């Protein structure tokens, strides 16, 4: 079995420490800043919570013995910690921008190929890490972490200037919801039990949605108060 965790030690120390010096959210005003190291740590912790929930569901509702969950857990943790390391070369480019640039040059996989080439320099098989469920989990949690940071630190005054229909938290929530559905579909392909199908989101992402709900209400109150003061 491949020891995916060994990949964490293949990235040179200088690059590992450079991650801590790269800030996110260059295009949006925030009350506090966030660097890639903090972001990657949170994505890793949250991704392991998701994948551990998936394992609990699997062990409780399936007799399958052909799935190596320890391998999936190791790939999830490794990918979560490494997923933004290529930005030490490419800079912080949003997912939306990556898609737009790829489409504009007729090469949708442009940034993925650059990331793959980046890791190949250190003998890290990025294609293997991004195979299957781990990549879907990390993508979903990446969106979740961005949403939570925005709810904590986004400045509503900026959005009033941009326009009343500009609501970044809604867009981030929609992105997270879409990726959650993709994870759920992948997990559901492993089971047929009705009780799992009916409760899959709660079983895997219930705590995540609870946190979003608890953090969103104060921001709604803040937005309403700001609107009243302007009017």
Convert the pLDDT of each residue in 87-138 to its tens digit.
888 777 767 677 778 888 888 888 888 899 999 999 999 989 898 999 999 9
Q: CA-CA distances (angstroms) from residue 150 to 135, 153, 182?
A: 23, 5, 23
Q: CA-CA distances (angstroms) from residue 142 to 94, 120, 170, 199, 203?
A: 11, 23, 15, 23, 19
Is residue 23 classed as helix, strand or coil in its secondary structure? strand
DSSP state of 77: H
Convert the pLDDT of each residue in 30-62 to its tens digit.
788 899 999 999 999 999 999 999 999 888 877
Domain extents for the chain? 4-230
> Where residue 164 falls among pLDDT bands split at 50, 70, 90?
very low
Q: Which fold has domain 4-230?
A: Hypothetical protein af1432 (1.10.3210)
pTM for the full predicted model: 0.86
């Amino acid at each position: 079995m491949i020891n995916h965790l060994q990949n964490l030690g293949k990235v040179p120390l200088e690059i590992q420490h450079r991650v801590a010096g790269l800030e996110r959210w260059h295009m949006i005003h925030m009350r506090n800043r966030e660097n890639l190291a903090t972001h990657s740590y949170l994505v890793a912790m949250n991704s392991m919570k998701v994948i551990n929930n998936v394992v609990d569901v699997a062990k409780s509702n399936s007799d399958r013995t052909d799935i190596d969950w320890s391998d999936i857990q190791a790939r999830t943790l490794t990918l979560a910690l490494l997923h933004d390391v290529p930005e030490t070369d490419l800079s912080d480019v949003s997912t939306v921008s990556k898609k737009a640039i790829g489409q504009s040059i007729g090469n949708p996989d442009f940034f993925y190929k650059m990331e793959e080439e980046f890791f190949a320099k250190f003998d890290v098989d990025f294609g293997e890490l991004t195979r299957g469920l781990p990549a879907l989990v990390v993508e979903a949690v990446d969106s979740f972490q961005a949403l939570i940071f925005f709810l904590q630190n986004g400045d509503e005054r900026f959005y009033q200037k941009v326009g009343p229909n500009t609501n970044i938290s809604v867009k981030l929530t929609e992105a997270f919801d879409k990726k959650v559905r993709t994870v759920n579909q992948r997990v559901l392909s492993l089971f047929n039990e009705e009780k799992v199908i009916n409760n899959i989101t709660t079983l895997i992402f219930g705590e995540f949605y609870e946190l979003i709900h608890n953090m969103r209400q104060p921001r709604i109150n803040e937005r309403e108060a700001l609107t009243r003061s302007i009017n």
